[in-house]
Amino acid sequence: MAATSALRDAGMRVMEAATIEAATSALDANPDLRVMVTDIDLIGEPLTGLTLAKAVAARWPEVSMLIVSGVVQLEPGAMPQGARFLRKPFEDEALVRAVQELVATRAAGCLEPDGSAMA
């Protein structure tokens, strides 16, 4: 809830999804979504946020991803290409900045649709 509020307060349009099915439905219904933020721990889900991130990267390569966790520290190679990791706890400003950087990187054309960096 705090993360959603912080992003909305920063002027971002935010869609919340309580389940993996809701997240994929939101992506299907809103092709203009540019960033997905997911926690590694998805309460009540058999899959992890990392599994969700990898599935989203394969199906919607134009969506940038921010993966957060207070339990594990992910190395870049463990995440989909182009995804970023933010360790919890974090300040609202750090979350907003991380999402803004993902949007700016994509808008600047620094990432190819498959998430790889352009030279």
Q: How is the chain split into domains, by residue range?
A: 2-23+33-107
Judged by DSSP in three states, 90 sits in coil
Beta bridge partners of 87: 69
Fold classification of 2-23+33-107 (topology level): Rossmann fold (3.40.50)
Q: What is the mean pLDDT of the chain?
A: 87
pTM: 0.84
* CA gyration radius, the chain: 13
Flag residues of the chain having pLDDT under 70: 1, 109-119
Dihedral sign computed on CA atoms, order 113, 78, 44, 5: negative
> Residue 1 has what pLDDT?
67
